[in-house]
Structure formats: structure tokens, C-alpha cells
A and B are shown apart, each in its own frame.
Chain A
Amino acid sequence: MNGARVEFRGLRRRFGSTVALDGLDLTVEPGELIALLGPSGCGKTTALRCLAGFEQPDEGEVLVDGADITRVPANRRDAGMVFQSYSLFPNLNARDNVGFGMRVRKTPAARRHARAQELLELVGLPDVGGRYPHQLSGGQQQRVALARALALEPRVLLLDEPLSALDAKVRVTLREEIRRLQLSLGITTIFVTHDQEEALSMADRVAVLRDGRLEQVADPATLYDRPATPFVAEFVGAMNHLPGLLSGDQVTVLGQTLPVEGPRPAGPEADVLVRPEAVLVVPDGEGEGMVVVSSFRGSTARLRVRLGDGAEVLADVPGHDSARLAPGTAVRVRLVERPVLVSARTATGVTAAVPEPDAVA
């Protein structure tokens, strides 16, 4: 089973006055797992449906291995899909659900059942063949749906938030399993999600969409460390914008001098982009910073610290430190010694532009 190359070219789709896709250009390499990431309503599902054939673009085309499939009916396309909502056929048991596509193609029953069993084993459910969908848990149903989508050995696998209805633990195991399967089958996979952690942890590359357009596509590390646009910086993780003074390839920020990485803006005044986890906070009675808000997340706690000049900075500290750093504590703030990104000074900003970074974390 080999993956196909998928290309979206200038895809446009509007519904009445809403523009769901606004000239989407994206190429997915053979065998790659790409995550489509973006806020709700940015057109992720619409893009996927255009590829599956459930939606016709108003403009632009979809190419699979160079062949234009924009007008090919959905049932002649070579793409397996797993849906966000539970989509197993309620009248068929798991084995017949997996075998549905083979039945359409008139595969003999014995071969069909053997292959269905093989696929159920592949997704880790060797014993549920005889059960009906209402006798399966949500996670099991999505696994069976995955097996069903893989049954016809498609060259493209489409996953539209297949994990969003599942609880946190099942989500993590299942996404690891999907990734493992995808790597072993080498199938080109497009994974829609609005969970950035999911996207960053699974994908070879992440495509960030905004209002129907591609904002940036890059591997997870690049996307996180060098966001191409402020939108990406804010959407993928949280980002502090701290005022700094450039001199040569060094920048002075919060009294520290750090090396600069990447492109440099012209003027000496610049914004230094710092992730919350690169901000170190230590309790210090003499310190000029003060913890304003602290939200505990288990392994970490995110603090909002007000600095002496009134600016605020977000900081992630280990969860066990959150008691020492309760709101009201006077603290000293330092940055981790490592090269930083800088951008031209924005009019507004000294700190994170996101109003409430918790929303995207």
C-alpha cells in the first residue's frame, strides 16, 4: 500500500455569504501525515470533504498523483475517511461494517471475513467482530471505523477529528496507534483537528488554516519555534512579546542580553518572542514582579506575572512550584539563556497578544 501525493490548488468554496475556503493551496507528500489545524469554522472539514468528494469547490482543483479528481464522484475516489461523529452502520456488526466496501466490490464472503478479521486485529480489536455498534464503546467504534476506512487499501486516509468525541486518555492512546499504523502502511494521511497538541505530537507537518487560507505549513518544531505569522504564534502555543533593544546580533530584554536567531528587523527597538516555558520565575521578596494569576494544570502551572513597568508576562512553571508562587507573591523573572526570535515592534504590545492564552493551550 503506497501513499499518493495530494494537491489542493486554489480551492474556493463559499456558502451564501460565508467563505469556507478562500484559495487554499497545499501539497501533501506521499506517505506523509499532515495535520490541518485551525480555529473552528476555518474550513478544515470543507477542505477534507472536497477531497473526499462530498463537496464541490466553486473554484480550484484537487489533484491526486497529478490527476485532477475534482469532478470524480465520491464513490469512485481512492480515499478512506473516518468521520467525527460515529458513522458505523447500525444494522451491521463490526465485521460486516469493515467488510462493507469489499461487499460493494463483490469480494467473496470468505475472503471478506478473513480480511475484516485481519483489519480488526490491526486496530487492536480481534474479538469484537460479532458485535453491533451499539455494543461498542466510542473508542472501539472509531477503531472499527478506521479499520473500515483502511479495508479497501486506499492511497489517502482522511481523518476528520476522529478523536474529538473520546475522553482524554483514549484519545492519547488512539492517536499514537493511528500514527503507528500510518507509518507502517505508508499511507498519505490528512488529519483534521483543532487540538494543537494532537497536531504537534502526531504530524510530519502541520498546516495552520485561517479563514479558509493556508497560514503556514511546517514541521511541528519549526511551527512552534519559528511561527511565520503572529496568528500562528498565538494559535500554536502561547507567545510573549517583550520589548527589547537590538545591538548587532544580540538583544537586551528584561536586563538580560541574549543572542538573536533568524531575521532581524531594521530598528533597534524590537519585540522579543518568548514562549512561557522559557520564562523562569523565582520567589524573591525584593523582586519587582508579582504573580497576578496562576492556573494549575497538573504537571505545570501557568502564571501571569506583572512586571515593574506594568507589563505582563506569561510563564509556565513546574506544577509542584505553584504553591510557592501563589497569586500575590513577589517574584524575580529571568529568561532561559538561549537564542530568541525577534519581530518588528508592534504598536500594541508588550506582552502576549492573546487575551486568554488558556483557550488555546
Chain B
Amino acid sequence: MASLTPQVTTPAVPGTAPARPGRPRRPRVWRGVVLLLAAVYFLVPLIASFVFTVKAPDQGFSLDAYGEIFSAEGFAGSLLLSLGLGAATIVIVLLLTLPAVVAVRLGAPRWRPVLEVVCTLPLVVPPITFVAGISTVLRWGPDYLASTPFYQTIIAVQDPGFPIVLVLAYVVLALPFAYRSLDAGLGAIDVRTLSEAARNLGASWPHVLLRVIVPNMRSAMAGASFLTLALVLGEFTIARLLSFQTFPVWIYTISGAHAQVSVAVSVFSLLITWLLLLALSSAGARQRSGS
């Protein structure tokens, strides 16, 4: 996760702090200790899980559990659904947040705290409250509206093939992360001067946004996208309570029947997430070195 917010973490590297005379070794020692503790904390469960999945009572070592993942009922469907939801959520949350953050910064800096609070609000609402609200709204469909487009919309957003209602819910949940990431990215460039320079050269506002601001915010947008994707791939409560078969829900469903397979799936999904992280952060790094 640390590599997601390079602007924040880079200056904080303790090793770069000038060591005070008299106690020169302290920071290094502490760094090692912290690293070790963190490594133990993260790696022990991971290794334990992995060992559990590859240990067969009679043969000793077998990757059967991993093989079973791919043949298990509903694996591909739920994974694709989650990835699709993730992609849709990323697109919508970026389309919503980026213009808003840019507009507030350029046009109404006084409203920035308001936007910040609004975007942070989803963090303080417990998912259970959130989902209760959503299902109440979805159930509310008076009969006299049965033949109207409104009612059909309510039905359509709950299509189990691609539940738009989940996308909407995830967009709300992802707002705080996307906002933070984009706001930090925007703070790193002189948006006002750049957009005025572009306007002066004849660029319309959409052109300024797409050709000037977006290319200079690639790493911030990659960060926002990754956080959103990680959130969607891990979200359980809402999907489960609204009875949609997303990837985390599927893992949960399968875990009752095949303990080993379900743990293997968890390890596998961690691996996918890491690969995506690597891809996104290297995309961000490429942009940084190119600019």
C-alpha cells in the first residue's frame, strides 16, 4: 500500500533524516525492528494459509486445491463480475471526482473543505447502515408505479448479471480514497497556471481537462483506481446482504464446503491484487520518469 501514495511516503523515509550526533544508529535499528514486526505480522498468516492449501494428508505436497479453484462452480462468473464492477466503479468515480476537484480548486477554493467533508462522509457511515438504507429504497416501489419507467429502472439496477446498484454503492464507498488521491495529485502541479496557459492557446475546458490535467495526474489517477479496485474486490457486506454473487461472496459461499479451496482462493485473490498493484504503480512510475 505504501507505494500508492509516493508523494506522502517518500519524504518520510527515516533513513534520510540527518542522524544526530551521539545516537547515530538508532533510526536504522528501529527501522529494522519495525520492518521485522510488520513482516511477521503480514507474512505469518500468509505462509500459514499457503502451507495449509498445499498440504495433503497422504502425499505431503499438492497443488490440487489451486487446480480446483478453476473448476469450482461460479469461480469465473463471480471473478468477472467483481472485475466488471470494479472497472465501472473506477470510471464513474473518476468521472465524478476529477472534474469536481479541479473545478473547486480553480473556481471556488472556499468550497474545498465542503467537498472534502462530503467525500469523507462515507468513511464514517457503517456499511450495515448503508446497506439497510439501500434495501429500503429498493423495496419501496408502490404498485401504482408498476408500469412506469421508474419501476423498471429499480428492477434493472438489480439485475444479478450486472447489479448497477452495487456500482452506485461502491462509487460512494470509493469517494474518500479517490478524493484524497486526486487532491494530492492536483496539489503537486500548478493547475491554475497550466490551465490558463492552455486556455490562452485556445483550448476549451474539456480539452484542458483531458489534454493538460489528466496527463499530468496519471500517477494520482492510478492510485485512485487501484484503491477503488482493491475496495471492490474485497467488499463483502453490501454484496452479501443484497444477495449478489461477487467474488468475496463466492469465496465465503465455497468456504463451507471446501475449506482448503476457499483458503487457496484467498491466497490466489491476494496474488491477483498484488499483480494489479504492480501494474498500476509501474504505470505511475513510468509517467513520473517521463515528465
Contact = CB atoms under 8 A, between A and B. Distances in A.
A101 B194 CA distance: 13
A101 B207 CA distance: 11
A81 B290 CA distance: 26
A87 to B, nearest CB: 4
Nearest to B189: A90
Interface string A74-87: 11110111010111
B196 A54 contact: yes
Contacts of A79: 200
B173 to A, nearest CB: 31
B194 A74 contact: no
Given A104-B207, A132-B291, A134-B291, A87 B202 contact: no
A52 B195 CA distance: 13
Contacts of A91: 215-216, 287, 290-291
B194 A104 contact: no
B200 A81 contact: yes
B283 to A, nearest CB: 14
A251 interface: no
A80 B200 contact: yes
A149 interface: yes
Contact of B203 (A75, A77, A151): A75
A80 B197 CA distance: 9
B216 A89 contact: yes
B198 interface: yes
Contacts of B143: none
Interface string B190-212: 10011011111111100100001
B201 A104 contact: yes
Nearest to A85: B193
A89 B200 contact: no
Contacts of B203: 75, 100, 104
B216 A101 contact: no
Contacts of B212: 89
B193 A87 contact: yes
Contacts, number: 69
Given A54-B196, A75-B199, A87 B190 contact: yes
B194 A87 contact: yes
Contacts of B194: 87, 89
A45 to B, nearest CB: 12
Given A81-B200, A101-B201, A149-B200, A90 B291 contact: yes
A72 to B, nearest CB: 12
A132 B215 CA distance: 14
Contacts of B291: 90-91, 132, 134
Contacts of B207: 104
Contacts of B290: 91, 132
A53 interface: yes
A75 B193 contact: no
Interface size class of A (residues with CB under 8 A): 20 to 34
A187 to B, nearest CB: 15
B149 to A, nearest CB: 38
**A80, A83, A105 — most chain B CB neighbours (10 Å):** A83
Interface in B73-109: none
Interface in A29-86: 52-54, 73-77, 79-81, 83, 85-86
A148 B201 CA distance: 8
Given A90-B189, A100-B201, A132-B291, A74 B215 contact: no
A9 to B, nearest CB: 22
A44 to B, nearest CB: 16
Contacts of B189: 90
Interface string A171-214: 00000000000000000000000000000000000000000000
A253 interface: no
A282 interface: no
B190 to A, nearest CB: 6
A53 B203 CA distance: 13
A26 interface: no
Nearest to A149: B200
A86 B201 CA distance: 16
Given A87-B193, A90-B291, A52 B202 contact: no
A85 B191 CA distance: 12
A137 to B, nearest CB: 17
Given A54-B196, A83-B196, A152 B216 contact: no
Given A132-B291, A134-B291, A87 B199 contact: no
Interface string B115-126: 000000000000
Contacts of A52: 196, 200
A116 to B, nearest CB: 13
Given A85-B193, A91-B215, A91-B216, A104 B202 contact: yes
B197 A89 contact: yes
Interface in B169-198: 189-190, 193-194, 196-198
A152 B197 contact: no
Given A91-B215, A91-B291, A104-B207, A74 B193 contact: no
Which 6 pairs from chain A and chain B are nearest by CB? A101-B201, A91-B215, A74-B199, A87-B197, A104-B202, A87-B193
Interface of A: 52-54, 73-77, 79-81, 83, 85-91, 100-101, 104-105, 132, 134, 145, 148-149, 151-152
Given A83-B193, A89-B197, A91-B215, 14 more contacts: A52-B196, A73-B199, A74-B200, A75-B199, A75-B201, A75-B202, A77-B200, A83-B197, A87-B193, A89-B215, A100-B201, A101-B201, A145-B197, A148-B197
22 contacts: A52-B196, A73-B199, A74-B196, A74-B199, A75-B200, A75-B204, A81-B196, A81-B197, A83-B193, A85-B190, A87-B194, A89-B216, A90-B216, A100-B201, A101-B201, A101-B202, A104-B202, A145-B197, A148-B197, A148-B201, A149-B200, A152-B201
